[in-house]
Every structure is written in C-alpha cells, then in structure tokens.
C-alpha cells in the first residue's frame, strides 16, 4: 500500500525507471511490458507519452494555468481567457483537463498516457487530443485494439478511468491505469489528506482558498471515478483521481 507521500506525488522510492525518463511501480512496469509485447505482435508500437508525475510538476502546471501563464483550452480546443473568469469558473476550466495537485492518478506510478509511435512520423508533435483518438484519427486503430483487449480480459490489468465523459474530467482515451494497484488508491484521496498535503508544501497553490471552500464537491466531480471503470476483481472501494 502506498504511503500518503507516495499517493500525493511527494515520494518516488516506489518507482522503477523505464526508457526516456518514464517511471512506474515495478508491477505496473512489468504488466505494461507484456501489453507492449502483445501490441507489437498486432503491429503497434505502444509508446508512453507520460507516466509518473510528481506533486511539484502538477503544482507548476496548476499555477501556470491558474495564473494565466500556460494556455487553457475549452472542449473544442479554443483558448480560454482564464484571468477574465471568476475563480469558480477558472477552477472548472482547469480541472476539465488538469488534475488538482495531490490528486493526479499520475502520482501513483500506476497510470500512463499512451500512443502508437508506429502510426506517426518521427517528427510528429504529439497532442493527446480528442481528434487523435476519435474514429479516423491517427491513434484510432490502437485504441480500438486496446478496447478489444480490455473487453477480452487480455489487457494485462490496464483499463480506462476516463474513457467516457461524465461531466467532470474530459474523456481521455489515451490514459490507461493498472487496475490491480490503482483500484485501492482512489478512495484514499480525501479532503483532509489533501489539506495536509498542501500544508506541507512551501510553495503556494494558486486559488487555494477557493478550492478549499468546495473541496468535497470538487473531489466528487473531478477525482472520483465510478467503480465500474475496471472489472470487479480489482475494485476495492475505489474513488479514483485524475
Ligand atoms: Zn493521463
């Protein structure tokens, strides 16, 4: 079981190094190597775009977006004038695509974003956009293959916590989660744990007081995922996290 620090991306000792600076927990890394081998036989080059991400990295993303220094987009890809919005709407616009620091599933070492490196040229600029994974998109074939593996129970424990739009986090077909380890993590991310986590950090989190005022609601809408995101053998009172 992960410690509180590991759950919130502030301790990296449970991780192993993969190629290109990526990191996962050892069991998740071994399972991903098996999935990658199956994908290779099916003609795909299953590559990692993002794996473990620290609290500090997520805080920089959050503060960059909340402070207007990093772009924020809406559902159809238009830039949002974030500083012109009231705090509650600023929070909603950011949470649609970026996790609250301390709640990202990428903190756990169980989750990763993937693409098919064989489907695009070497100089392709990866976007992880809805268009890339939609029918007819460059990674559509890979995701159909992954869907089939999940349906057949041959995805080596990987499933999609954000496969469909539930009104909170935008759908992310590229985000895979290793259920045997991740299923027990989500339910542990509570408002109290998060407040303690933020208190321990020296660098401020922008919009913190506005976040604290509605934490239970934000956790329910943007962090928890329904128990059926993975098959029942793995479920362990899970509540997920983006
Ligand atoms: Zn992701």
Over residues 56-66, the pLDDT tens digits come to: 999 999 999 99
* Ligand 1 midpoint to CA 40 (Å): 22
Q: Is the pTM of this model over 0.75?
A: yes
Residue 65 alpha carbon to ligand 1 centre in Å: 17
Question: What percent of the chain has pLDDT above 90?
Answer: 84
Centre of ligand 1 from the C-alpha of residue 81, in Å: 24
Distance from the alpha carbon of residue 104 to the mean position of ligand 1, in angstroms: 8
* Domain ranges across the chain: 4-229
Compute, in degrees rounded to 10, the torsion defined by CA atoms 75, 78, 84, 85: 0
Q: How far is the CA of 113 from the centre of ligand 1 (A)?
A: 5
Ligand 1 centroid distance, CA of 174 (Å) = 7
Buried b (16+ CB within 10 A) or exposed e, 3-30: eebbbbbbbeebbeebeeebbbbeebbe
φ/ψ of residue 178, rounded to 5: -85, 95
| Cα–Cα distance for residue pair 9/121, rounded to 1 Å | 33
More confident residue, 131 or 143: 143
Count of Cβ atoms closer than 10 Å to residue 73 Cβ? 14
pLDDT digits 0-9 by tens, 72-120: 999 888 899 999 999 999 999 999 999 999 999 999 999 999 999 999 9
Which 3 state secondary structure label does DSSP give 173?
A: coil
Spatial separation of the C-alpha atoms in residues 48 and 61, rounded to whole Å:
19
Q: Which of 11-20, 217-226, 231-240 has the lowest mean pLDDT?
A: 231-240
* Ligand 1 centroid, distance to 50 Cα (angstroms): 7
Separation of CA 233 and ligand 1 centre (Å): 23
Q: How many Cβ atoms are within 10 Å of 189's Cβ, its own excluded? A: 25
pLDDT digits (tens, 9 = 90+) for 195-205: 999 998 888 99
Ligand 1 center to 83 CA (angstroms): 25
Predicted confidence at residue 236, as pLDDT, reads 55
| DSSP annotation of 73 | B
**Could you tell me which CATH class the domain 4-229 is placed in?**
alpha beta
Q: How far is CA 180 from the centre of its chain?
A: 16
The alpha carbon of 158 and the centre of ligand 1 are apart by a number of angstroms equal to: 13
**What spacing in Å lies between the alpha carbon of 180 and ligand 1's midpoint?**
17
What value does the mean pLDDT of the chain take?
93
- Cα(44) to ligand 1 centroid in Å equals 20
Asked if 233 and 196 touch (Cβ cutoff 8 Å), the reply is no
pLDDT exceeds 50 at position 25:
yes
Measured CA distances, 117 to 48, 125, 129, 179 (Å): 9, 11, 15, 24
What pLDDT score does 186 carry? 85
């Amino acid at each position: 079981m992960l410690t509180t620090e590991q759950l919130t991306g502030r301790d990296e000792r449970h991780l192993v190094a993969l190629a290109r600076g990526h990191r996962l927990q050892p069991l998740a890394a071994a399972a991903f190597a098996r999935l990658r081998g199956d994908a290779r036989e099916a003609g795909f080059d299953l590559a990692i775009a993002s794996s473990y991400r620290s609290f500090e990295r997520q805080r920089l993303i959050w503060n960059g977006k909340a402070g207007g220094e990093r772009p924020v987009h809406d559902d159809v890809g238009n830039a949002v004038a974030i500083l012109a919005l009231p705090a509650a709407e600023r929070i909603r616009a950011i949470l649609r695509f970026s996790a609250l620091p301390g709640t990202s599933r990428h903190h756990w070492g169980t989750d990763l974003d993937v693409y098919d490196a064989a489907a695009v040229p070497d100089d392709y600029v990866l976007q992880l956009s809805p268009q890339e994974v939609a029918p007819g998109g460059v990674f559509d074939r890979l995701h159909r293959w992954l869907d089939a593996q999940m349906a057949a129970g041959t995805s080596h424990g990987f499933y999609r916590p954000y496969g469909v739009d539930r009104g909170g986090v935008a759908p992310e077909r590229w985000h895979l989660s290793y259920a045997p380890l991740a299923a027990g993590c989500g339910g542990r991310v509570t408002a109290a744990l998060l407040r303690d986590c933020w208190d321990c950090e020296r660098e401020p989190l922008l919009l913190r007081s506005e976040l604290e005022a509605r934490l239970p609601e934000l956790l329910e809408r943007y962090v928890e995922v329904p128990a059926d995101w993975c098959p029942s053998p793995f479920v362990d009172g899970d509540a997920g996290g983006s």
